[in-house]
Structure 1
Amino acid sequence: MSDSTTAPTRDASVIVARNDSHQVAILTADFPRHGGEYLFLPGGRRERGESPKDCARRELREEAGITAGQWRPLGSYAMTLASTARIHLFEARQLSLGAQELSANEVDFKLVWWPMGEALTAATEGRFLLPAGPLALLLADRNA
């Protein structure tokens, strides 16, 4: 098994960021190709030479404008049976807010704060675009 800095860049990290009021940072955007507006957690693909945690820090800062003082890994999971790519899930706390650093593909991302219970309800209703977000929410809530 290769070390975390030489792993394939297909790997990704997803973050459950919780503020002091126990609200979760959620991003919303319209995805017409997928049927409309969806919810998702900050996250994205690892860049070459980046550890899963470094990826999580970067993605949280870029997509949500958030930096965190406390990080907790929630696990790493295979994305599909046909790939060696892994999704690395984290919970972030002790948050500081700043400006989003969105790429051209992310300009429609809007940051909203939801109570964990409402985020979990949205996950069970299928309102999240990708499955890693609901899994991360469930794991963070279970291990709170």
Structure 2
Amino acid sequence: MKYCLLILTILLFSCNSEPNYDDYLRQMDIVLTDNYKVLRQNTDGAMGDFIVDFQLKISDKDFENIIAKIKQTENYREYKSGESPNSFSSIGKNYHIVGFKLGDKYFYKKESDSEPVYYELIVDSDKTLNFTYAED
């Protein structure tokens, strides 16, 4: 019984460890070259699902680089309030990606056809980067 409690304790604490932000961003071909400030982070795993969610305050230079990357996505579009994209463009390796602007936020989403994996990056005009990784 004490081994079960020990394993449960280890699992609970390991689920809340701080993620490697740069590694997760690299999965979307995003590289931050300047320092950033972690505003919020959460890692959660239960019943086969795994989610990493964090918010960073980034530099002007990194903000401009990310916006340029988003604008280079195939079929990039700036949507009016109430509109949203209805499909993702194929980018090879069984991934689909979409980049768009809605209001003062830029969205960059990537999901896999072959794995239950999803990435989402949202950048606000105030240089706040919100990132979510989800695995079913």
- What is the TM-score of this pair, normalised by structure 1? 0.32
Q: How does the TM-score come out when normalised to structure 2? A: 0.33
Bigger CA radius of gyration: 2
The higher-RCO structure (CA 8 Å, 6+ apart) is: 1
